[in-house]
Chain A
Amino acid sequence: MAENTQTKRKKRFTKDQWTAIAFLIPSIILILVFVYGFIGWTGYVSLSNWNTLVPDFSFAGLKNYIYLFNDFRFQADLRNTLFFTILFIGFVIILGMGLAILIDQKLKGESIFRNIFLFPMALSFIVTGVVWQWLLNPSTGFNQFLSMFGIEPKWYTDTNILAGFEWGSIEFGLPVAIIAVVIAAVWQMTGFSLAMYLAGLRGIPDELREAARMDGASEFQVYRKVVLPMLLPITMSVIIIMAHISLKIFDLIYAMTGSGANFVTDVPGVYMFETTFRGNYYANGAAIAIIMLLLVAVFIVPYLWNSRKGDN
């Protein structure tokens, strides 16, 4: 025993390193192969002619990408993703922060409220999708109640494009149907941003607010000038997390609305799945995957860059 401790003390550092490396190697290899290897493979397939059941790896250049960007459905997908992302992130931030501020007012039964708002997060998007599909069904659901007031929104079956204008082969503008999907997604994810903001609020020292109040700031000003700026890092994190959920969204749409009439609720994930596994357009599907990866990278890379600088 004594001998052991002695050797341990002598080579402690290297041994620990040894152990760490030994533990890490299997997962590093697995990640290299199954994440980065397959990303590379997908990129390779996306440049090939493999658009039938039989693999054909001959080089096609950017053919598949050019096809996609000229495709009505893919253009509609990009439009839908854009508006979905903007609305979804916007509402999740506003509602999450608002609710967090309300809950932070030291009210009674705080934990009950917190849990109520957090619960939807425990569900899978599939469950959310199925439930909201019924709630927002134009002939059942909320409309049975709303029709008493003479309003009957068509929700996700609405094919109108708000403020639309011709652009490429699609009408560019806000697809009304996507709002229904945004409602479901916001319902599910607001709890998450609420939790993050609540943690952020708790991290702001009371002295700061006190100091501001002493300086004669109104309660509104305290929030605007002190609390909100202090919450900026939280907001950044919420945006990153929500953006990569919304850019990759598949399950919610698939369960709730499908592609929608005229592809008003279609997203790249659904298109990728259908074109690859129904149409056997493997190369096209791979190209969609790569484009989605790049879209997410647009958000993630600056964030990683930023946090790396922060570490240094």
Chain B
Amino acid sequence: MKKLYGFLLLFVLALVLAACSSDSSGDGGDSDSGDGESADKKVEIFSWWTGAGEEDGLLALIDLFEKKHPDIKIENAAVAGGAGTNAKAVLATRMQGDDPPSTFQVHGGDELNEGWVAAGKMEPLNDFYEENGWMDKFPEELIDLVSKDGEIYSVPVDIHRGNVMFYNMKVFEENGIEVPKTFDEFFTAADKLQAAGIKPLALGDKEAWTATQIFENVLLGVLGPDDYKKLFEGEIGFDDARVKEAAEKFSKMLDYINDDHASRNWQDSAQLVADGEAAMINMGDWAKGYFSNDLNLETNKDFGYFEFPSTDGEFVVITDTFGLPKGIENPDDVKEFLKVLGSVEGQDAFNPLKGSIPARVDADKSKYDKYGQETMEDFKGARLVPSLAHGSAASEGFLTKVNQAVNIFVTQRDIDNFIKALQNAAPEM
């Protein structure tokens, strides 16, 4: 019997130990990332880059860094799934528990500024930018996007464009359609396609952001870049007559979409364009990678692209950036990583693989394909505006509510209700 008690005691002890040690190992593992007391230096990179091209890009970047700094080890802490939703949930938990990763992926704009910067969790990087002479290497409007109250908070690594229409060239040719530059031209072309039995516009809004993306581009087309920005800064109200006009145009565009839009995600809807069942799709230019890599279509032969109607010379920016969280133990090592990330070499290692263009204006063009080169050229001269659908123009809270309003609007088409929902959500911006 004594044996049994001894055993039991051991068991309880083991449990207690396990509980404690899991605590401390948790701490240890986490402070590891911040490089606690361990002798070797470590930088933990937190992202949601686990897809085909993007992961290759990240690994190339890590490779480059480790060649330059063999003494610093990189820990790739990518969280898969949900287009970053899962990663963001993990990040939020870690930040709230004062256990930030060394550096993490965050979209430039309000996701950074109204999220982590407003929460007081980020270090300003102005001196770091000055040291590296970066102030004129990134476009001014892009630096604005990662700044709050004159302080810069992160380093952009890539640029995607949101106001692009991809189209099936064969379908356009067969129906004698010119690339539409204005809304009127778009609607005329759409009517013609509709009459020919082809769905003019493909949409897959199983996740609502795809529809929100169309709406934001219509807003940009109607308001122009300056007032578009003012709208999301709260200087223009959502009761503005032009917002209503945009909603009407948006509604009219929705008349031309495929019936089964609610059952498709964006890839499924891009497939419609690839198969020639639909003619056009508005999608960020990651769709280009999908067309050429996944569907083996040829750029400018099978599919083409043009700027969303009335947004010529404007560039809806979606940019992934990395910053320096407060409270990490080896900020200098992390800065070394950010330095590589912001260098021409780093950006040219990452972006061709991911299919995005570099955030710097002085990158090596020859490393990019034709679409990339053209977009880089546009990027230099264009007016840059933040994307709403990707969390740059307004807070995640506002975006969630807009997505809900858009989801309802796509079915109900009640413009007054829609405007009211936007107005109600506006304080969350």
Contacts and interface: CB of A to CB of B under 8 A. Distances in A.
B400 A262 contact: no
Interface in A1-45: 4, 7-8, 15, 19, 22, 26
A197 B211 CA distance: 47
Interface in B88-121: 88-89, 92, 95-96, 115-116, 118-119
Interface stretch (B55-63, B258-266, B285-293): B258-266
B137 interface: no
Contacts of A280: 92, 115, 395-397
Given A19-B8, A72-B408, A263-B407, A277 B92 contact: yes
Contact of A262 (B12, B15, B407): B407
A274 interface: yes
A262 B412 contact: yes
Contacts of A72: 404, 408
Contacts of A262: 407-408, 410-412
B399 interface: yes
A41 to B, nearest CB: 14
B23 to A, nearest CB: 13
A258 interface: yes
B32 interface: no
Contacts of B412: 262
A274 B207 CA distance: 11
**Of A22, A156, A259, A260, most B-chain CB atoms within 10 Å:** A259
Interface residues of A, number: 37
Given A73-B404, A274-B400, A281-B400, A156 B263 contact: yes
A72 B412 CA distance: 12
Nearest to B86: A277
Interface in A96-129: none
Contacts of B95: 53
B399 A279 contact: yes
B39 interface: no
Interface in B116-135: 116, 118-119
Given A8-B1, A157-B260, A55 B397 contact: no
Interface string A55-94: 1000000000000000011000000000000000000000
B401 interface: yes
Given A138-B259, A278-B396, A261 B205 contact: yes
B400 A275 contact: yes
B262 A279 contact: no
Contact of B261 (A54, A257, A261, A274): A261
Nearest to B272: A139
A51 interface: yes
A31 B259 CA distance: 49
Contacts of B259: 138, 154, 157
Interface string B72-86: 000000000000010
A46 interface: no
A51 to B, nearest CB: 7
Contact of B85 (A8, A155, A260, A277): A277
A261 B407 contact: yes
A237 interface: no
A133 B408 contact: no
**Of A19, A22, A53, A157, most B-chain CB atoms within 10 Å:** A53
Contacts of B96: 53, 55
B115 A53 contact: yes
Contacts of B1: 4, 7-8, 15
Contacts of A19: 4, 8
A159 interface: yes
A293 to B, nearest CB: 21
Interface string B179-209: 0000000000000000000000000011110
A19 B3 CA distance: 13
Nearest to A137: B263
Nearest to B83: A278
A263 B408 contact: yes
A4 B1 CA distance: 7
Contact of B12 (A22, A133, A137, A257): A22
Contact of B397 (A51, A156, A157): A51
B274 to A, nearest CB: 15
Nearest to B2: A4
**Of B85, B259, B397, B401, most A-chain CB atoms within 10 Å:** B397
Contacts of B85: 277-278
Nearest to A138: B260
Nearest to A76: B408
B400 A278 contact: yes
Q: 10 tightest A-B contacts by CB?
A: A279-B400, A262-B411, A261-B262, A277-B89, A157-B262, A54-B119, A138-B260, A261-B411, A279-B397, A159-B411
12 contacts: A19-B8, A54-B118, A72-B404, A154-B260, A157-B259, A261-B261, A262-B407, A262-B412, A277-B85, A277-B89, A277-B92, A279-B396
